[in-house]
Amino acid sequence: MMVTSVAGIYISYPFCAQKCTYCNFASGVFPGELERRYIAALTHELRTYAWEWLPETLYLGGGTPSTLDSEDLRTLIGLVRGRPWMEATLEAAPGTLTPERVRGWAACGISRVSLGVQSFAEPEIRRTGRKYTAQTLEQELGLLRQAGIANVNIDLIAGLPGQTEATWRESLDWIERLAPPHVSVYMLEVDTDSRLGKEILLGGVRYGAADVPDDDQTAALYEIAVERLRAMGIRRYEISNFARPGFESLHNLKYWRLEPYAGFGADAHSFDGRTRRQNPESAGDYADGRPATTTPARVDDERFFVGLRLAAGIRPDPEGWRRFDAPIRRFLDAGLLETEDGLLRLTNRGVLLSNEVLQEFLTL
């Protein structure tokens, strides 16, 4: 088969030094013995993959892949074809960067680093279980830039325990000071997959659950961020993602545009345009060789579900307009969707209620 450049690669490293209270990912603190078996299984999966195309993008997520042993990182990245990629991203936890590590990332072809900051306000940082300061972040950003990695994303979370408008503006002040080209702003997810989420749902007080802003306050913080980032020239291109022109995440855009990608490691997903494949969720099951599961993709539904996340919206075909006529009309009337020249997109109010809107396109 002719080799073409069509897809993105995701590599999952679900190991962390500590589990953050708000985290609902399939990651955590695991024994060193499991990590070695996991790396062996991941190496095997990458080495035996049938490479019939050249990937355009690479993304290492987790977990905390920034703590990967440098030799293991070189081995894993060396098994991915296509270098140099259009974009190669590594997720990193603040407080884990060293000059040696950063130079090693650059030497491996990493061109973009996503920092899971979440907050620059020290009381909020402590309550989530993180161990760094805003000054640490400033120093680590300097290390990245010295190594030639200027494409940096900073994550923030609106709705953390004890968060106020004043502390939120403090975090945004730091964003302005550090001037990253990309920022992600997430509203706190409350579900049973995180310790904080469970405590909130139970009406408890651990992990600061009693001090979490309500939905209206969290939405207000998000809107403050939208306006403040826009004033910095960092504009929203997806519900939770903001970038200066030309610095949008090329890898993540593949998900929202329903372009192919292949995932390796625990809980990693793959999509070839027709079928979705998911590796075992737990690191232990993956290391034990449990098989992946496959399901047919619902592309017509998913085009609305993921595509409407983009600020540019989508251009439905005639069948899409017909099939989803009822929910489209309802959300247009409610001011949650808008249409112009054949495009359909969320309004500003629709963005705040996006879960309600998007879910509708998967339930017909």
DSSP secondary structure, 71-88, as one string: HHHHHHHHTS-SSSPSEE
Q: Which of these three, 201, 225, 256, is where a domain ends?
A: 256
**Residue 352 included in any domain:** yes
Whole-number Cα distances in Å, 343 to 31, 199, 313, 340, 364: 50, 41, 6, 5, 21
Do 237 and 311 lie in one domain? The reply is no
Whether residue 147 sits in one domain with residue 60: yes
Residues 62, 203: one domain? yes
CB atoms within 10 A of CB 103: 16
Q: 199 with 320, same domain?
A: no
Listed in order, strand segments (DSSP E) in the chain are: 4-13, 53-62, 87-92, 112-118, 151-158, 182-187, 235-238, 241-243, 261-264, 269-271, 275-278, 293-296, 337-340, 343-346
> Where is the domain boundary, 191, 224, 256?
256
**Are 206 and 353 contained in the same domain?**
no
Beta pairing, strands 112-118 & 275-278: unpaired
pLDDT at 3: 45
Predicted local distance difference test score (pLDDT) of residue 49: 94
| Residues 61, 133 within the same domain | yes
Tell whether 346 and 201 lie within a shared domain.
Answer: no
129 located within any domain: yes
Q: How far is CA 313 from CA 250, 318, 321, 342, in A?
A: 17, 16, 14, 10
Location of structure tokens 């979370």: 157
pLDDT at 6: 61
Of 103, 50, 111, 113, nearest in space to 85 by CA: 111
Q: Is 286 inside a domain boundary? A: no
Report the sign of the C-alpha dihedral through residues 157, 160, 165, 168, in that order.
Answer: negative
- The reply to whether 288 falls in a domain is no
343 shares a domain with 238: no
Please tell me the distance from the alpha carbon of residue 182 to that of residue 179, in angstroms, as a whole number.
9
Q: Residue 26 maps to which CATH number?
A: 3.20.20.70
Q: What is the dihedral of CA 333, 337, 339, 344, to 10 degrees?
A: -140
Confidence at residue 24, expressed as pLDDT on a 0 to 100 scale = 65
* 147 and 39, same domain (yes or no): yes
Give residue 178's Cα distance to chain centre.
21
Token pair listed for 264? 């390796």
Give the domain extent around 351: 298-364
Q: Rounded to whole angstroms, how far apart are CA atoms 330 and 352?
A: 17
Same domain, 152 and 38: yes
Number of domains in the chain: 2
Q: How many CB atoms lie within 10 A of CB 82?
A: 19
Asked which of 206, 225, 256 is the last residue of a domain, the reply is 256
As a whole number of angstroms, the distance between CA 160 and CA 208 comes to 9
Predicted structure pTM score: 0.94
Same domain, 247 and 362: no
| In the chain, % of residues over pLDDT 90 | 79
279 domain-assigned: no
Is residue 305 included in any domain, yes or no?
A: yes
**Does 285 reside within a domain?**
no
Q: Which of 252, 49, 229 is nearest to 156 (CA)?
A: 229
**Paired tokens of 344:** 């359909």
The answer on 321 and 189 residing in a single domain is: no
Q: Which residues of the chain have pLDDT under 50?
A: 1-3, 364
What are the angstrom distances between the C-alpha of 236 and each of 217, 243, 305?
20, 7, 18
Find all residues with CB under 8 Å of 10, minimum gap 6, and list them.
59, 60, 61, 251, 261, 262, 263, 264, 268, 269
- The Cα 102–Cα 79 span in angstroms is 20
